[in-house]
Chains A and B, each alone.
Chain A
Amino acid sequence: MFTKRHLISTRDFSKDEIDFLLSRAEELEKFARGREQGWGWGEGEGEREGEEESDLLKGKILANLFYEPSTRTRLSFETAMKRLGGEVLNLYSTETSSVTKGENLADTIRTVSGYCDAIVLRHPREGASRMAASLASVPVINAGDGAGQHPTQTLLDLYTLKKEGLLENLRIALVGDLKYGRTVHSLAYALALYGATLFFVSPEALRMPEEVKMDLRAAGTAEAEAAGAAGAGAGAGAEVFETSDLSAVVKEVDVLYVTRIQKERFPDPAEYRKVAGAYRVTRGLLKENEDLVIMHPLPRVDEIDAAVDGTKNARYFKQAFYGVPVRMAVLSTLLGAGGERRREGEEKQGASKNARGNRRNSGVGEEAPRTLRERTADDRERECYEQHGKDAARF
């Protein structure tokens, strides 16, 4: 079922493939906190003792290439890799690498491909990970490309919703910077696959881009067609509402997904000042809907009052933790050490190991070995085009 070699955009994935990764994350969550840690959230609290350790990714090396700042994404990828027995190389300050000498991303990717088994890339330019995937001889995972996509954040958001029992038929408000916020672009598309009703709450200047809304209509349609749905609503796409008034939607939704208005993405600082502080979630707001779940990809500035942190509504730190099991699932799957495909991988293990050894000996640039899930860039591109062909058929 899972046929992807790289993880670049939510749009590359079907609902079944996402479901597979979320299930895999559930299987691996027991390894996420490690053996010694005796605290947690909710049902897992106090039950850490006696948990297994894992060497699922023993002998594998992950390269974290971060051209932009990161706390949660980079550290949770590193934790995920290490909890599964793997090792991590970090390039998180471009000032200490050849980037300062003028080396381009393409050369860096080709070089680093020879040092590791997978690359995690965060880059300020949209499409950087897609380009990297076309050059790398190992799987590339997009950890954020400018204002583009952040698919593993989306997976952990979906995982949080799944753990809360809210994933199906959800009513959710995405609040804040919907124009530049890459997390909401990826998330909105994925939620459309699950039939969510979406409320976009933002200042006029930070509305969800039209192309994202177009994708939402197509995504809902695709899933309806795939499920053989019929009757009213089938093929209608995701139901979307737009407003600037947060208080108007609080009673209408199960979840508020709040985002920071990102100063660094604004070309004009004056434009940022016009919308900064537009929304603020407070305890007072929660009185209007006591069951409301508050999520946030973090970091936050002032859009969620610190007094909300201790309420039963706040899920954002738990959400941040879920980045570990979800990234464990992604890494183990892409590296051929996961679930049903692990068994498939074992059948090919001997040949794969030999081929990998040969590739390392013969240098980067030669054709990479193809296991059941190690696909060439051309394969991936063809799949992408096939998906685009399906999109085209819906217009």
Chain B
Amino acid sequence: MKKELKVVPIKNGTVIDHISAGQALNVLRILEINAKNTRTSTRTSTRTGAAGGAVVSVLMNVRSKKMGRKDIVKVEDRELKSEEVDKIALIAPNAKINIIRDFEVVAKHKVFLPNSIEGIIKCANPNCISNAEQEPVVSRFVTVSGSRGGVQPRFRCFFCERLIEDVSGYL
């Protein structure tokens, strides 16, 4: 019998599609989805599903007509809210969110860069006060420009005003 590893459609939950190739794990990191908290997330979901925590499937480097290559993340039994998911526009500006109920897509939306981002990006300036361990300060970035025509979005540190473009190295 031929063994096959297959990612099946999910019954309930969220599919994050069109993630820039290679960024799926960063998406999970930004959404704080990990082995420790998926159970809690599932329990607090409005559509509680399988006992024993949510199943998260990650597909990387999948062929895409639009993007060439893309990543996909599927989170079972958890419907992610826009304000939660918009944060991933930092690294996946083209991502699409699909809410699934009984195998049907019931809602679909794009991600939008929030005006400000707290606690996700670490400032690239080592001398920034937000990098001072002894200070009780959470990093905060303001979106200066969104991604347009392949141009990277740009963010400014609220504290030291340093600009940062490619945030993937500072998550």
Contact = CB atoms under 8 A, between A and B. Distances in A.
B132 interface: yes
Contact of B127 (A131, A146, A388, A389): A146
A149 B142 CA distance: 18
Interface stretch (B33-41, B49-57, B63-71, B150-158): B150-158
Contacts of B129: 105, 123, 125-128, 130-131, 145
A392 B157 contact: no
Given A104-B135, A131-B135, A389-B115, A384 B142 contact: yes
Contacts of A9: 161
B168 interface: no
B146 interface: yes
B169 interface: no
B159 A385 contact: no
Contact of A392 (B132, B145, B159, B163): B145
B159 A106 contact: no
Nearest to B158: A130
A185 to B, nearest CB: 9
Contacts of B163: 210-211, 214
B115 A125 contact: no
A126 B127 contact: yes
A323 B15 CA distance: 59
B142 A385 contact: yes
Interface in A378-395: 381, 384-385, 388-389, 391-392, 395
Given A106-B135, A106-B137, A126-B127, A385 B160 contact: no
Interface string A103-140: 01110000000000000000111111011000000000
A102 B134 contact: yes
B162 interface: yes
Contact of A126 (B134, B142, B148, B162): B162
A391 B153 CA distance: 13
Interface in B102-145: 115-116, 123, 125, 127-130, 132, 134-137, 142-145
Contact of B115 (A104, A123, A385): A385
A127 B128 contact: yes
Nearest to A125: B129
A11 interface: yes
A388 B136 contact: no
A104 B159 CA distance: 17
Contacts of B156: 211, 388
A210 B148 CA distance: 20
B133 to A, nearest CB: 9
Contacts of B162: 126, 211
B160 A127 contact: yes
Interface string A352-391: 0000000000000000000000000000010011001101
Contacts of A384: 142, 158
A131 B161 contact: no
B65 to A, nearest CB: 29
Contacts of A395: 144-145, 148, 154
A89 B90 CA distance: 44
A203 interface: no
Nearest to B134: A104
B136 A104 contact: yes
A392 B144 CA distance: 5
A144 interface: no
Contacts of B158: 127, 130, 381, 384
Interface of A: 9, 11, 102, 104-106, 123-128, 130-131, 145-149, 210-211, 214, 381, 384-385, 388-389, 391-392, 395
Interface of B: 115-116, 123, 125, 127-130, 132, 134-137, 142-146, 148, 154, 156-163
18 contacts: A104-B135, A105-B129, A123-B129, A125-B160, A126-B127, A127-B123, A127-B130, A127-B161, A130-B158, A131-B137, A146-B127, A147-B127, A148-B160, A211-B156, A384-B142, A385-B115, A392-B146, A395-B154
The 5 closest A-B pairs by CB, nearest first: A127-B159, A126-B160, A395-B145, A127-B160, A127-B129
Given A127-B159, A130-B158, A395-B144, 14 more contacts: A11-B161, A104-B134, A105-B132, A106-B137, A125-B128, A126-B160, A127-B157, A131-B130, A211-B156, A381-B158, A384-B142, A384-B158, A388-B143, A388-B144
